[in-house]
């Protein structure tokens, strides 16, 4: 019998369920809870408790023991799933059975997507036949998509077959086995040993879990507590499917006298009325607050400061406070901050295994194996100069550095002989022999054995222990080394098991392949450096808050894309396709499910507070406040967002770091010096930067250094190199002398540069096919088809080269780009029909690899220009140059000032073209329009688009540019000035309002920090 208890958001059925469970005999009942925390809590009450996985395992065991010989099936890891699916895809591809996915099948990202899709299909409980039937009845599919469906069905069938043949199961496989065994047991009239089962803490069950519950309810009593209120569909969307399914056979039970959690009036109002159709706003009390801070660091500090004050004043116990975030990985620094403030916290102190020096040590050993010549020497240098070598080999790394700096080795044996001679390090001699014996190819198992043996040989834990006792390394360093050694050894044991079921486990691989496999397997592992303190404040993810209760709850990170956090479902089937599949009986999760889950998590976070709830956020250029903030504000008539600053005066500091910061801010350098040598110097650095003091203004001194910088800059300039200096000399120094690049955020969407390059490539191919042709409206359909085909080919080329990731984002973006190109074509035809200008060349390179030297003699110095002119058009003997822009085109008032590209390209084209270059301009792809076109006055009116003929100086005064000589004179003035300043070593930063976005120097010039300080110092400025 199945009993369903629908639990409103302000009720807590924990005690009621505990009481019911305790009325049964211990061995005849199980309380199944959604999280380990809830399982643990129930066990503390003397109740037999388990999670769903453990229940499924127990079901399988009980059933198989009664039906036949005990089933021996093994669970495989996600890595093993990936490897198995990789094998299947490789085989299908070899047999020519993957024409749709063919090119993608070897890509890592694709394998992961397939694994996740297989899990999602598996969780629906669908068999291979059911999937094939559903696909066969899917109307309106194009032939290409039908092929995709066939391939997915085939992969799924092969995958399930493989699992069955090898007696292994994946995540959903366990539930499938349990459901099948349970069905067979029921048919055979058997029974389980339990009389009653209680499910709590779940807000939804997947299809296979629901099957297990239904079958169990036919042989024992099953009670389920489900958070659900029929009148609030917006709040309980995540539970809707489960509720509907359970109600097909459950008895809906009335809640008895369960405890309605006691909350302040405001908190009660939130819990009762969030997303309620009948909500009426009320005045807020002190139970709810919303804080806005300037950045993430301030956000965490402000919260921890307040907690520290409360703990110090003993107004609350640590265990009465919870700090809640949506995703723990976004707040990895909070544990360290808690330590700084001396706040005990119920969270492990952990570190990523791949970031550990011990992991680097192991991979560095292996990396020396597969290289040759100078590259091999460089790996050895990197390996022997790791700081860890002072401990492991007791090697004086300074001596190694000196040798490497004074000699250019191309033979690693010579380098190692010299190191041995200079240092006499016997450990190195032994290690060298061991490393030389590592085979270039071996099975994964063999490499794991070798790596494990080498790691054991280093005796790292013993050496670290000795150094810690001698006070030479910190406790954290000691723990990191010991834990990392232990985890790596465990990983080396486990890795062969993952590979056991796949082809690459049976074949040999090279050492580089093994290093990649090791890094991949270690990717998500972390080291536990300090166990959690059970008496501390709770630091929790909103995902794990079922039935949690605290006097005070801080919910951090309430900003767009963070909370709510929507993850895109697997791109192989988009949301529209998922909706179709749900109708066909395959309910795969969709983004809409994500919305429903997220609001449930937010409600849990709010409901966890009984006395005070503080919601915090910060905003930046990219993300605003979370929409949940607006929802909470709308519940009250007078609730306001408070702007909170975590900055403190020295006397109010609550941690050493706060004290140091406060002293630095107030310029108390003497006190700082006593506190920490070296801190006073760095504390004053920003002040010096602001005052442009020598050494802090970006201007290197010394003739020798300037000479070296000048050599590094060289004589070859591109327009963007010159424009960089013009916009900010310090950025120029960091980019072209220090050779630093702006860090790009990794993501599925294509970066704008890559997108621009793709469009350029498409237009290049298209225009090259139509040089000197007049395009006409009558040809539009044909030309559009051609442009489309070129676009598809170039997209495929980019995907093959790994320059774009063909995920969901790109599928959407791709269609946008297609539309943009079609609009460009219309506009191109219109320009063609209005005038005589026809393209005569595309992507014309100058000044590169001996192509068309462009030398400029400016103030006695010769420099060379290089670049590529996107397109040159001709009308008679006159030429007009064009630069495509996928973003914004520079404004005409920047011409020959910060926009140097157009005038320099005009000059370069004039030096290279026999006819007369009369002008040039930008072609905005996003607006499908020619823009900001310069033209010498005699030719004005010969082009059918808007032009200008003057340049403005720094004061905004416009001067006519009548001929190429005028343009040259203007450019000579600007370039001469720049070259002079470069020669003098003037590299001061010149901040502007949008300069920090792509600048590789932003963290060094501290533009963001300094600008903020300045604003604070001079609010009117
Ligand atoms: S952030 Fe701005 S001021 Fe700083 S180096 Fe970059 S461009 Fe220059």
The yes-or-no verdict on residue 370 having pLDDT over 80 is no
- The finding on whether 543 has its CB within 6 A of some atom of ligand 1 is no
Q: Which atom of ligand 1 is nearest to the CA of 729?
A: 8
What average pLDDT does range 408-437 have in this prediction? 90
Quote the tokens at residue 893.
């008032």
Pairing of strands 861-875, 854-858: antiparallel
Q: What is the pLDDT of residues 27-72, one digit of tens each?
A: 899 999 998 888 998 999 999 999 999 999 899 888 888 877 666 6
How sure is the predictor about 975, in pLDDT bands with cuts at 50, 70 and 90?
very high
Cβ atoms of residues 370 and 511 within 8 Å: yes
992 CA distance to ligand 1 middle (Å): 8
- The finding on whether 1007 has its CB within 6 A of some atom of ligand 1 is yes
User: 75-79, 613-617, 876-880, 885-889: which has the minimum mean pLDDT?
Assistant: 75-79
The residue whose CA is least distant from atom 7 of ligand 1 is: 995
Quote the tokens at residue 339.
């330590």
Task: Kindly compute the dihedral angle of the four CA atoms of residues 304, 307, 308, 311, in this order, to the nearest 10 degrees.
Answer: -160
Quote the tokens at residue 526.
């972390």
At 742 the pLDDT is: 65
Q: Percentage of the chain surpassing pLDDT 70?
A: 92
1003 CA distance to ligand 1 middle (Å): 9
- The finding on whether 991 has its CB within 6 A of some atom of ligand 1 is yes
The yes-or-no verdict on residue 674 having pLDDT over 90 is no
At 789 the pLDDT is: 92
- The finding on whether 728 has its CB within 6 A of some atom of ligand 1 is yes
Task: Kindly compute the dihedral angle of the four CA atoms of residues 495, 504, 131, 595, in this order, to the nearest 10 degrees.
Answer: 40
- The finding on whether 995 has its CB within 6 A of some atom of ligand 1 is yes
736 CA distance to ligand 1 middle (Å): 14
Q: What is the pLDDT of residues 123-169, one digit of tens each?
A: 888 889 999 999 999 998 888 889 999 999 999 999 999 988 888 88
The yes-or-no verdict on residue 350 having pLDDT over 80 is no
At 804 the pLDDT is: 74
996 CA distance to ligand 1 middle (Å): 6
The yes-or-no verdict on residue 747 having pLDDT over 60 is no
609-618: strand order across its sheet: 345-346, 537-541, 321-325, 550-555, 609-618, 288-293, 641-643
- The finding on whether 729 has its CB within 6 A of some atom of ligand 1 is no
Q: What is the pLDDT of residues 810-841, one digit of tens each?
A: 777 788 889 899 999 999 999 999 889 999 99
At 568 the pLDDT is: 63
- Residue 342, sorted as left (phi over 0), alpha (psi -120 to 50) or beta, turns out to be left
The yes-or-no verdict on residue 112 having pLDDT over 90 is no
The yes-or-no verdict on residue 654 having pLDDT over 90 is no
The yes-or-no verdict on residue 1014 having pLDDT over 50 is no
Least Cα distance to 588 among 101, 118, 109 occurs for 118
994 CA distance to ligand 1 middle (Å): 9
At 1009 the pLDDT is: 59
The yes-or-no verdict on residue 310 having pLDDT over 70 is yes
SS3 state of residue 836:
coil
- Residue 915 CA to residue 911 CA, distance in Å, equals 10
Q: What is the pLDDT of residues 978-993, one digit of tens each?
A: 999 999 999 988 887 7
- The finding on whether 733 has its CB within 6 A of some atom of ligand 1 is no
Query: What's the start-to-end Cα distance of the chain, in Å?
Result: 73
The residue whose CA is least distant from atom 1 of ligand 1 is: 1002
How sure is the predictor about 524, in pLDDT bands with cuts at 50, 70 and 90?
confident
Higher pLDDT, 811 or 796: 796
How sure is the predictor about 994, in pLDDT bands with cuts at 50, 70 and 90?
low
How sure is the predictor about 1020, in pLDDT bands with cuts at 50, 70 and 90?
very low
- The finding on whether 1002 has its CB within 6 A of some atom of ligand 1 is yes
Q: Which atom of ligand 1 is nearest to the CA of 990?
A: 3
- Residue 770 CA to residue 84 CA, distance in Å, equals 49
Residue with tokens 């993810």: 541
Cis peptide before 400 (omega within 30 of 0): no
- Residue 989 CA to residue 1003 CA, distance in Å, equals 12
Q: What is the DSSP code string of 219-262?
A: TSEEEEEEE--TT-TTT-HHHHHHHHHHTTTPEEEPP-SPEEPP
- The finding on whether 173 has its CB within 6 A of some atom of ligand 1 is no
At 531 the pLDDT is: 62
- The finding on whether 377 has its CB within 6 A of some atom of ligand 1 is no
How sure is the predictor about 1018, in pLDDT bands with cuts at 50, 70 and 90?
very low
The residue whose CA is least distant from atom 3 of ligand 1 is: 991
- Residue 114, sorted as left (phi over 0), alpha (psi -120 to 50) or beta, turns out to be alpha
292 CA distance to ligand 1 middle (Å): 27
- Other Cβ atoms less than 10 A from the Cβ of 551: the count is 16
What average pLDDT does range 15-30 have in this prediction? 92
Q: Which of 697, 731, 998 to mutate to test the pocket of ligand 1 (most atoms within 8 A of CB)?
A: 731
What average pLDDT does range 343-354 have in this prediction? 77
Look over the chain and give the mean of its residue pLDDT values, rounded to a whole number. 86
How sure is the predictor about 748, in pLDDT bands with cuts at 50, 70 and 90?
very low
Residue with tokens 């790394």: 397
The yes-or-no verdict on residue 951 having pLDDT over 50 is yes
- The finding on whether 554 has its CB within 6 A of some atom of ligand 1 is no
987 CA distance to ligand 1 middle (Å): 11
- The finding on whether 419 has its CB within 6 A of some atom of ligand 1 is no
CA distances for 945 relative to 97, 831, 903, angstroms: 53, 8, 19
Higher pLDDT, 676 or 930: 930
At 391 the pLDDT is: 86
At 1019 the pLDDT is: 34
């Amino acid at each position: 019998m199945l009993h369903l208890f629908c639990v409103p958001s302000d009720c807590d059925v924990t005690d009621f369920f505990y009481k019911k469970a305790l009325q049964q005999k211990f061995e005849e009942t199980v309380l199944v809870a959604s999280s380990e925390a809830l399982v643990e809590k129930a066990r503390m009450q003397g109740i037999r408790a388990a999670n769903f996985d453990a229940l499924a395992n127990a079901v399988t065991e009980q059933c198989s023991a009664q039906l036949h010989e005990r089933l021996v099936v093994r669970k495989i890891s996600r890595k093993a799933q990936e490897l198995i699916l990789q094998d299947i895809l490789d085989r299908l591809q070899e047999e020519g059975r993957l024409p749709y996915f063919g090119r993608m099948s070897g890509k890592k990202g694709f394998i992961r997507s397939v694994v996740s899709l297989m899990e999602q299909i598996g969780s629906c409980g669908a068999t291979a036949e059911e999937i094939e039937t559903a696909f066969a009845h899917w109307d309106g599919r194009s032939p290409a998509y039908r092929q995709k469906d066939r391939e997915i069905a085939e992969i799924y069938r092969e995958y399930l077959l493989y699992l069955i043949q090898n007696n292994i199961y994946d995540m959903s496989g366990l539930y499938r086995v349990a459901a099948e065994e349970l069905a067979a047991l029921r048919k055979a009239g058997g029974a389980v040993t339990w009389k009653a089962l209680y499910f709590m803490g779940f807000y939804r069950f997947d299809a296979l879990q629901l099957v297990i519950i239904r079958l169990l309810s036919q042989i024992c009593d099953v009670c389920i507590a489900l958070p659900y209120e029929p009148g609030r569909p917006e709040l309980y969307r995540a539970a809707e499917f489960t509720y509907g399914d359970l109600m097909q056979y459950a008895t809906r039970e009335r809640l008895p006298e369960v405890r309605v959690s006691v909350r302040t009036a405001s908190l009660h109002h939130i819990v009762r009325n969030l997303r309620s159709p009948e909500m009426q706003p009320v005045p807020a009390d002190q139970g709810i607050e919303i804080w806005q801070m300037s950045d993430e660091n301030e956000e965490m500090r402000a919260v921890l400061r307040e907690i520290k004050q409360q703990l110090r004043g003993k107004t609350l116990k640590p265990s009465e406070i919870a700090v809640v975030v949506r995703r723990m990985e976004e707040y990895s620094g909070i544990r360290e901050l808690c330590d700084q403030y001396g706040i005990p916290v119920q969270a492990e102190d952990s570190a990523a295994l791949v970031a550990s020096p011990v992991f680097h040590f192991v991979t560095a050993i292996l990396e020396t194996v597969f290289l040759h010549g100078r590259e091999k020497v460089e790996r050895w240098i990197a390996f022997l100069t790791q700081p860890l070598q002072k401990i492991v080999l007791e090697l004086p790394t300074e001596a190694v550095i000196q040798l490497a700096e004074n000699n250019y080795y191309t033979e690693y044996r010579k380098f190692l002989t010299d190191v041995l001679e200079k240092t006499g390090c016997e450990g190195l001699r032994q290690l060298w022999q061991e490393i030389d014996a590592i085979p270039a190819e071996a099975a994964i198992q063999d490499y794991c054995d070798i790596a494990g043996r080498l790691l054991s040989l280093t005796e790292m834990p013993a050496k670290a222990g000795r150094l810690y006792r001698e006070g030479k390394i910190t406790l954290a360093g000691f723990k990191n080394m010991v834990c990392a050694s232990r985890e790596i050894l465990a990983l080396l044991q486990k890795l062969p098991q993952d590979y056991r079921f796949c082809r690459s486990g049976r074949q040999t691989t090279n050492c580089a392949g093994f290093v990649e496999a090791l890094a991949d397997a270690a990717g998500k592992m972390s080291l536990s450096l300090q166990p959690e303190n059970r008496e501390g404040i709770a630091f929790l993810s909103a995902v794990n808050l079922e039935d949690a209760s605290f006097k005070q709850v801080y919910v951090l990170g309430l900003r767009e894309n963070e909370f709510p956090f929507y993850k895109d479902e697997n791109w192989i089937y988009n949301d529209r396709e998922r909706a179709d599949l749900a109708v066909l009986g395959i309910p795969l999760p969709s983004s809409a499910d994500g919305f429903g889950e997220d609001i449930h998590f937010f409600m849990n976070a709010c409901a966890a507070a009984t006395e005070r709830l503080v919601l915090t956020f910060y905003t930046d250029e990219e993300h605003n406040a979370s929409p949940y903030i607006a929802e909470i504000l709308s519940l009250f008539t007078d609730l306001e967002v408070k702007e909170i600053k975590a900055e403190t005066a020295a006397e109010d500091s609550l941690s050493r770091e706060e004290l140091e910061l406060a002293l630095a801010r107030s310029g108390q350098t003497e006190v700082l010096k006593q506190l920490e040598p070296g801190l006073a110097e760095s504390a004053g650095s920003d002040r010096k930067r602001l005052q442009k003091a020598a050494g802090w203004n970006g201007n290197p001194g010394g003739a020798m250094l300037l000479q070296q910088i000048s050599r590094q800059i060289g004589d070859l300039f591109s327009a963007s190199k010159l424009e960089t200096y013009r916009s900010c000399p310090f950025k120029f120094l960091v980019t072209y002398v220090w050779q630093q690049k702006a860090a790009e955020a990794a993501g599925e969407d294509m970066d704008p540069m890559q997108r621009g390059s793709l469009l350029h490539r498409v237009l290049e191919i298209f225009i090259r096919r139509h040089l000197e042709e007049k395009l006409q409206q009558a040809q539009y359909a044909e030309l559009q088809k051609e442009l489309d085909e070129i676009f598809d080919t170039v997209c495929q080329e980019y995907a093959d080269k790994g320059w774009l990731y063909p995920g969901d984002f790109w599928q959407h973006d791709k269609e946008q780009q297609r539309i943009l190109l079609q609009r460009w074509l219309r506009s191109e035809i219109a320009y063609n029909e209005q005038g005589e200008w026809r393209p005569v060349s595309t992507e014309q390179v100058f000044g590169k690899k001996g192509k068309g030297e462009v030398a400029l003699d400016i103030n006695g110095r010769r420099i060379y220009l290089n670049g590529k002119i996107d397109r040159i058009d001709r009308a008679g003997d006159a030429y007009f140059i064009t630069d495509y822009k996928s973003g914004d085109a520079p404004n005409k008032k920047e011409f020959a000032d910060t926009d140097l590209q157009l005038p320099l390209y005009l000059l370069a084209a004039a030096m290279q073209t026999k006819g007369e270059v009369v002008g040039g301009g930008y072609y905005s792809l996003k607006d499908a329009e020619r823009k900001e076109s310069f033209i010498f006055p005699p030719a004005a009116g010969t082009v059918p688009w808007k032009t200008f003929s003057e340049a403005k100086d720094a004061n905004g005064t416009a001067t006519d540019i009548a001929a190429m000589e005028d343009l040259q004179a203007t450019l000579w003035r600007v370039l001469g000035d720049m070259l002079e300043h470069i020669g003098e070593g003037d590299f001061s930063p010149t901040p502007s309002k949008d300069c920090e976005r792509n600048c590789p120097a932003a963290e060094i010039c501290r533009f963001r920090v300094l600008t903020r300080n300045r604003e604070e110092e001079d609010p009117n400025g």
